Amino acid sequence: MGEIYTDSIQNTYIAFLTRDGFPMIELVAPIDETSPICNTIKKVGNSTYHVCYSVPDIDAALAELRAQRYMPLFKPVEAVAIDNKKICYLMHPEVGLIEIVEQ
């Protein structure tokens, strides 16, 4: 495990697990009970809860995903753990939660 980041926007601690030939895994923990991740932990426990996709243009990706019935949970924000790249979480009634990150 590498560096542990503090994301004050999401009110979480973040670390990444990496291994050659495998997908990167992001570990997320709440800083305190006001973190939005607390609700997810209450619902699903400690588990995988979404997949993240890298996109070249987050605004274009959002428009395309909205047309496919994905609902953004918030406007794109910068993520300190990934060099302040913009991220956004979206929910789909049949797919569940996904995350997109701008390259």
d(CA 13, CA 26) in angstroms, rounded, equals 10
d(CA 19, CA 14) in angstroms, rounded, equals 17
Binned at pLDDT 50, 70 and 90, residue 44 comes out as: confident
Q: What is the CATH number of domain 5-102?
A: 3.10.180.10
d(CA 23, CA 53) in angstroms, rounded, equals 11
**pLDDT tens-digit map of 62-96:** 999 999 999 999 999 999 989 999 999 999 999 98
d(CA 49, CA 59) in angstroms, rounded, equals 23
pTM (two decimals): 0.79
* Distances from the Cα of 86 to the Cα of 49, 52, 67, angstroms: 20, 12, 20
